Amino acid sequence: AQKVTQAQTEISVVEKEDVTLDCVYETRDTTYYLFWYKQPPSGELVFLIRRNSFDEQNEISGRYSWNFQKSTSSFNFTITASQVVDSAVYFCALRIPSDNYGGSQGNLIFGKGTKLSVKP
């Protein structure tokens, strides 16, 4: 069975602090995709990044960076110099690819999310 665990329910930091959001996943498949989504108070889920299981290179995008380690089944997300606008709920998700276009095995399995509050 596939599962995503985000152990941190809530994190509170002061602006300009760095913060890391943890994500641990479980799957027996060798091919899979990992995602991070941001859900601001408005409610809409915003796509941040996708990573496939064969690409363990870390990625940096501005103040955001992602650390993918297959050895520990983790896909952690770090925000550097956090800002108030980063306040949101962040979800990690797993997808096992399907054999068909948009097949039933292609669904996203979400963690429970981590609520990040950045205070000025």
Partner 1 sequence: EAGVAQSPRYKIIEKRQSVAFWCNPISGHATLYWYQQILGQGPKLLIQFQNNGVVDDSQLPKDRFSAERLKGVDSTLKIQPAKLEDSAVYLCASSYPRKGGSYEQYFGPGTRLTVT
Shortest distance, CB of residue 104 to partner 1, whole angstroms? Answer: 4
Answer yes or no whether residue 42 interacts with partner 1 by CB under 8 A. Answer: yes
Residue 71 vs 100, nearer CB to partner 1: 100
Answer yes or no whether residue 12 interacts with partner 1 by CB under 8 A. Answer: no
CB 29 within 8 A of CB 37: no
Answer yes or no whether residue 97 interacts with partner 1 by CB under 8 A. Answer: yes
CB 92 within 8 A of CB 4: yes
Which of 45, 65, 74, 78 is in the footprint of partner 1 by CB under 8 A?
Answer: 45
Q: Name the burial class of residue 25, with classes exposed (0-12), middle (13-18) and buried (19+) by CB atoms within 10 angstroms of its CB.
A: buried
Answer yes or no whether residue 38 interacts with partner 1 by CB under 8 A. Answer: no
Answer yes or no whether residue 54 interacts with partner 1 by CB under 8 A. Answer: no
